[in-house]
Structure 1
Amino acid sequence: MEKQNKPAQLENRMGSLETKLDYLSTLINQYKALNLNPEDVVKTALEDKDLSLLLGREDINFLTGSPEEMKFRNLTEQLGDTFLEVKEDGNLSFCNSRIEALTGFSCDDMMERSLYHIIKPEYKAVFSYHFSGTDPLGDHIVFQIIHKSGSFITLEGQIGFYKRDNQRVMGMIIHSLSPEKELQNRLQKLEDNYDALSETVNEVIIRIDEDFNIIYSNSAMKDIFGYGSDEILGKNLSILFPPEILKRYHDDLRKYFYIDSRDREKMGMTNSLEILGRHKTRGISPMEISFGNTKNFEERTLTCIIRDITQRKNAERTLHKLAYYDQLTGLGNRDLFFQDMQEHFDNIQLEFNLSCLMFLDLDGFKNINDTLGHDTGDMLLKEAAKRLHDCLRESDSVYRLGGDEFLVLIRKIREVKDASKVAGNILNTIRMPFYLKRGDKSIPAVNVGVSIGIVFISEGEKDVNELTKKADLAMYGSKNAGKNRYTFYSEEMVQKINERWELEQGLKKAMAGNELEVHYQPIVGSSGNIRGLEALLRWYHPVMGLIPPDKFIPIAEETDLIVPIGTWVLEKSCQDITEWNNNGYENLYVTVNFSTKQFEQPDIIDTITHVIERTGCNPSNLKIELTETGIMQAPDETIKKMNLLKSEIPEIEILIDDFGTGYSSLSYLANLPTDILKIDLSFVSKLHDPNNRKVVNSIINLAESLEMDYVTEGIESEVELAFFQDKKCERMQGYYFSHPVSKDEIVKLLKASSLPLKE
């Protein structure tokens, strides 16, 4: 390798001592000139033949054709250097005749083209930076141009600003860099010192040219990358890095060739990059590259110091994981959430994009934790965390807040409905059965839901706690609305929470105040005859009037009031059916809904038995209604209790309500001591859908094959009635026949013998 290609020649540009003194003297004269008025500065500059005095006086304005301007032109021709006047768009407003000797282009040629056409494109940003600067004295500048012959030449000089015809221009006094004997000697000494110094460090030191070819390397290359210096010289930098990595950082690396270390911070750059390197035999490792800057007279090269940071990264990852990640699920924890949120707030100040925060709470997790144990609960949390992570984009994040609560940050969405899509995906993902294992033993499938609260993040948002609180309130809105759904935060939500509190307090007094009533909805045969009744609870509040069940039943379940209320409904229903049986309707039956919480009570069998005994109810006319979803929350325990109930009271029948919505398996269904399936109204309302009709037909066929009866609920039209009449369904209910009505209204319907069917 020839001496002139050694890296020491490419150290920071070193001018002669005389050049430095001249430049210092120029700066002193410029600062002195700052105290003179514009006319005196021009006069002094022209008399002393010192154009540097004009550079940096933006209050000086040359008018083309004026005597001062003509003297100025003549003075530029007496310079030993080239003089240019450049406008911000790169076009020249003036140049002296020495331009041709320097660039190969005549002054006329240059006036017809932009300076940006002949400088290397990478340097345009340097000129833009100087034009945008506030220092009127300008600066020393070094850049490269494409000579008319096609070769690259390096130029240096002084720049400053003044005005021509009221337009701000950059004045440039420039010349070509040329090697000098003294400089060559000094560079040779630096080269020798540099070679010696580079061999004392453990990091790789390389120099690369503008084609990314390696022109120098120290011996540490062998330890870090596995290559000897003789193997690596002349090779492209790509030999040290995976191709896709080098491609990703190519533009960043290129910038370091043209922006020196002193200017990088101003340009928003750092002096180092972390990047993946490739060892000759050991594969990929994390590396850190620090950049110097070196120049010679014909080309630019870049000094790179590369160190292997594998151990540092491993330690950082371990500490970071312990500090910012949940140990059970591997999701980010509360601390990482707060850190990411602050970063997100900063980002949306720079570029606002619609984003949102979701607060998630698993529905039914406590029941699983209590009945199947904390180990099973932990397994469910881990699987739920994995599902949440997998159903989100890479740009989004999910965190475990604690217990069964999670937070999801959606960083960028196009419109509000996109948040609904994400929440819908989460609901569908979590509601699928969980198949867990304890060691080698499988645990019966368990089901949970998820309640989601969503709050959109405003552009000026800065308070993480306040935002989380809003998402939490919205989540409780989902809980209050029946769980397993999502709710958007709104200002009206606080009012709704207050209303819910009032309902909760009122519900505690409702039984004692005789505010609760049991209404009944007829269950009819194909000819309209009333075969049975479904008992449905109604609450007449003394101030708020009739309160819908979907508003107060969830409150009753969450506060455990559902247990005493459910027992009261059972007793009232048994009293009424006994009265009707004794008054001539001996085959009329009643179905009573049992909530999951009510049926899981340890003494529920004794409670049912005692109510039947107290009321004298015929157990064959009492049917217990359980939801499929409730059964599947703890199927083994529920089946055991159902079997015990059937053994204690053989005449009693059990219905599965909302069948087809709870994802129960056929193996469980075959083992359920169930007498009747209830086809959910969600299927009935979509009979126009061919696929939905197939589902309904399948449920009917399934019931018949298992020798079960079935009830169809939600019939509201003649089309729906005709469909199930055609199936010879003998248990139908819905608004088509009758809304739920009071006991007195039921008596009137019973006296009518049958309900009229519209034709």
Structure 2
Amino acid sequence: MAQPPGTPPVVQPPPQDLASSQVARYLAADAPPVPLHYLTYLFEHVADVIFFLEVLDGERYRFSAVNERFTLATGLPVGAVVGKEVDEIIPPDSLALVKSKYREAIATRNVVRWQEVSHYPSGTRTGDVTVSPVIDADGGCRLLMGVVHDITEHVRNRHQLELGSLVFQNSQEAIAVLDADGRVEAINPAFTAMRGYTLEEIAGKAPRVYHAGLDEADFDDALWAQLRASGQWQGELWSRHKDGQVLAEYRSISAAYGPDGQVRNYIEIGTDISDSKRAEEFAWRQGNYDALTGLPNRQMFMEHVAEAIRRADGEAGSFTLLVIDLDRFKDVNETLGHSSGDEILKEAAQRLLDCTRDGDTVGRLGGDEFTVLLAARPERTEQEAFAVDRTAQAIIQAMAKPFVIADEDLHLSASIGITHYPKDAADMESLVKHADQALYVAKQQGRNRYAYFSQTMQERAQARRRLIKDLRSALSERKLEVHYQPIVDLATGALEKVESLVRWTHPQRGMIGPAEFIPLCEETGMIVELGEQVFETVVRDAVSWKEAYGACLQLGINVSPVQLLSGREACERCFQLARRAALPEHTLVIEVTEGMLLDNNPFVIQQLRQMDENGMDLALDDFGTGYSSLSYLKKFSFQFLKIDRAFVMHLEAGTTDYALCETIITMAHKLGMRVIAEGIETPEQLALLKQAGCDYGQGYLFSKAVPRETIAHWLARGAMPWMRAGFAQHAFKRATGKLSQ
């Protein structure tokens, strides 16, 4: 019998024996074409799958014998395979390929080899298949011998290698393969793109060449110590591009081990996180720094204060806190516009930085309020008090210098509140609160100065808080009363007008003057509610006096700028109240101060014009004490102008005050306004004002502010106390007699 061409591949025999009984049975059936001992050796020692196929008519093939490896590879028992045709055993998706290879082997009388992927119960397997035709003496082929070498793992490993290479070459992360000593062996294209180095430039070098920030040996040693101990390290660090540019990077390093358990390589993967770091830094700066001035904002500054407290507590040290506020900044900001105000704030911030020392912290709390944390110098403790004074005085002087905005010199000043830790406060909240209290005192004392916190100041602040609480309660219970001060026609002595004034009788302190509680109402916003209560009371009293006595008095109502700026709703409620009362026009006189008009606020202007449209007269109060008075007289339709008591209290013939009063009266008359003089207390003042042509007078010479019942009593009697027999004539004669001397 002719030997089959080609031989099966030489492989190591498997560790277990393979049964060959099926081969023996086949060979016993007829004259064996192959020596039995050869076939038995193959079945028992070859690690590959071996099978024999009987070639039948019509391209049919039947399994004559298979070894145990066939079962291990396919999951099909030997007994279920032998005697079956290939159509019954070979998976359908492989059958066409297999039969074509069988036909080729028979036709060419040569060994045919191919790779085949088949799906068996044991799973998907990849095999290197060899089929050899067994040629009979007459040249026919009635037997095929096949050998399948399982290359599933080899293909899988090769695929993984190909995938690994694909990932290595196309990854967006910078990958470097280091040898066991930590020197570069290979890099991928992303590494070059990210860091600028080619393999030729850094092969055999340590990663330090492209690291930044690892110059400190301690950090480098710690990194490699962890890497050798655990086989892994990951974290954020700085990397350096070939051109010197530094970028933020997230890097992970993993050890790769060989079969002997020793490190063969280190795999380093780096991701450029510079953009995200920049975004994080931007967000962090937005949350912690003032966008306009670049100074720490309130949150960041308070963190500095908290850290200063911890440090001071640990070292038994101290520090000083300054709170700085620009005086009248609001007026300038709203007059010239917010862009000019922003320029002032930026310049103010730089001046503060110039006034402080290294280690001090300057912050912006908001608006025009800044703060400075003066770090203590323990080695010069005795000099710290002088250093604080010097710094505060330097800030006062710096802020007093002109601010040049759009080629215009603007003059501002600053007020400063100063407090010490731990002398004045034991916690951050109290420290800041005490500094604010000191600032409040500095402003009360005239601005452009600094004030230290004191216990007396704290007591005053506490008393102020209690007063605000009591004021709020009194307002809600309508305990504040409206009194009226008469305004007299100086030609006749008749009661023509009254000015409504709020009075508060405190249950413990007794009468509290408006100068004390009205500013508190404005600061807390209670002035809006108080204003509505006063307006309601005045309208009610006007209606009552008219119905009961036929009196057509004009009633003056003082209006705060806070009321006008609180919104249209509050003003509209007052207008509706007046309309429902059906009061004659010009019954109500709205008194405003020049300070209210300084801001030139469009909303304030609109509200004042609406008052005029609703039949209310306007009076300019405290004339001559504000700014740009003549421009206001031109812009608004004032019916009355009130001369401030400051011009009346020292009024004497031939003095500057008299000349000013006479000039104001003449000017007002030429502009169609009537004049009311406030603060008349003596017959001499009365006579001089009458001589100057003043229309109306108001002051203690006539009456202090009295309750509504007193006004009703006077109206009922038809006589006023200042009109008792010969009063006006006697006063005038005394004054004119003195003038003639």
TM-score between both structures, scaled by the size of structure 1: 0.44
Task: Tell me which of the two structures has the higher relative contact order, counting C-alpha pairs closer than 8 angstroms and 6 or more residues apart.
Answer: 1
